[in-house]
């Protein structure tokens, strides 16, 4: 539902202000399925809303559940025919985290990420971001559960759609809406410095996660083109400003690639990079989920990497993997309708790597 358009329609019709709050409650709290669920609206008003505003802007195309039952992935069709994916992760401690997308595809072209091989189609609108969370809220409701956390770590670079992402998070945080706490929301970026600096001044106190994946420019340049525009020195300067202004911890995501960034020297380089701000830094060491571009670092290497960081005084954990069997894990989101394009992209990556040997 487009709340902004609804507010305009209600104002133009001279409706009282509480009508907007009624619609928000029906959509975000009661999780109604259509305009017909707004029984406190008159029939003419419901018809006017239905004629001008789609209750849902996303259509569920396919939902798959992991073998363990802890991960649910849904493919959505937007009203213009574009496809996106979102994931629900169900934790053992009762948390239910939605991993939502901010764009159709992604322009960042990180070599380890399936989404990047799709290229960028367009930014998602505010309702398209919000409704990924509402979809899983509806899915959980019959089970007596609800969404507790949101991470903007799905398809796309959130800071390239900054305004819509922040507006969507505000709607989800709204006490008259889903009332999801800001501290339970996280935005993950591959290192877009202007976005980090804007977030530092953002009144909405959401968390920041950075996909860093290397402690030196030499290594990061191998698989993250963004590092050319925002090398590690510029990135860490922005992170330092963010920490100074917010006093909030930053999560650094580190995907381990066999023989590329998983050696003790790599851990030492990362520790040196984070030493200045180690009090507010935490590293999530992540298993690489194969998209054929690289080989995953063995588990013993991943656990050793965590130990090496901790020996250097850096807080670190090995992040639990969700949904690898349904291509729902970190770096695996790429709609099946784009499989041919994904395959072409991966083949190009492999050919480039072979030519450098």
Active-site residue set: 85, 330
Structure tokens at 260: 């590329």
In which order are the strands placed within the sheet that holds 315-318? 58-65, 71-78, 83-90, 96-99, 149-152, 185-189, 207-211, 250-256, 281-287, 315-318
Residue matched to tokens 């690289």? 294
Residues 280, 247 contacting (CB under 8 angstroms): yes
Shortest CA distance to 308 belongs to which of 352, 261, 260, 264? 264
Q: Is 154 exposed, middle or buried (0-12, 13-18, 19+ CB in 10 A)?
A: buried
Residues 318, 350 contacting (CB under 8 angstroms): no
Give the separation between CA 10 and CA 351, rounded to whole angstroms: 57
Helix and strand tally (H, E) in the chain?
Answer: 12, 12
Phi/psi class of residue 331: alpha, beta or left (left: φ > 0; alpha: ψ in -120 to 50)?
left
Give the separation between CA 213 and CA 218, rounded to whole angstroms: 12
Give the separation between CA 294 and CA 215, rounded to whole angstroms: 18
Shortest CA distance to 73 belongs to which of 92, 88, 91, 56? 88
Longest dimension (CA), the chain: 70
Residue matched to tokens 């949101």? 150
């Amino acid at each position: 539902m487009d709340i902004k358009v609804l507010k305009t329609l209600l104002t133009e019709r001279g409706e009282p202000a509480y009508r907007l709050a009624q619609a928000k409650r029906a959509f975000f709290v009661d999780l109604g399925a259509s305009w017909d669920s707004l029984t406190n609206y008159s029939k003419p008003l419901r018809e006017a809303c239905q004629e001008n505003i789609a209750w849902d802007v996303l259509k569920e195309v396919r939902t798959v559940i992991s073998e363990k039952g802890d991960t649910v992935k849904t493919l959505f069709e937007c009203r213009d025919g574009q496809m996106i994916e979102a994931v629900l992760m169900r934790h053992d401690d009762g948390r239910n985290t939605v991993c939502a997308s901010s764009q159709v595809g992604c322009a960042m072209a990180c070599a380890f990420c399936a989404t990047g091989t799709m290229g960028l189609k367009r930014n998602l609108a505010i309702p398209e971001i919000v409704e990924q969370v509402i979809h899983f809220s509806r899915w959980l409701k019959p089970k007596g559960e609800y969404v507790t956390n949101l991470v903007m770590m799905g398809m796309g670079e959130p800071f390239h759609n900054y305004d819509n992402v922040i507006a969507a998070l505000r709607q989800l945080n709204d006490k008259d809406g889903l009332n999801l706490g800001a501290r339970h929301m996280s935005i993950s970026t591959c290192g877009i410095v202007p976005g980090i600096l804007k977030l530092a001044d953002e009144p909405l106190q959401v968390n920041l996660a950075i996909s860093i994946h290397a402690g030196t420019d030499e290594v990061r340049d191998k698989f993250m083109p963004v590092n050319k525009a925002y090398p590690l020195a510029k990135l860490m300067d922005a992170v330092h400003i963010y920490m100074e202004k917010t006093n909030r911890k930053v999560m650094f995501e580190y995907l381990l690639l066999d023989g590329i960034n998983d050696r003790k020297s790599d851990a030492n380089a990362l520790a040196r990079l984070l030493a200045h701000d180690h009090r507010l830094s935490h590293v999530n060491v992540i298993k690489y989920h194969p998209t054929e571009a690289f080989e995953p670092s063995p588990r013993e290497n991943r656990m050793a990497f965590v130990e090496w960081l901790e020996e250097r005084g850096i807080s670190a954990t090995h992040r639990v993997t969700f949904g690898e069997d349904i291509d729902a894990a970190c770096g695996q989101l790429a709609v099946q309708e784009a499989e041919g394009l994904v395959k072409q992209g991966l083949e190009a990556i492999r050919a480039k790597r072979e030519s450098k040997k």
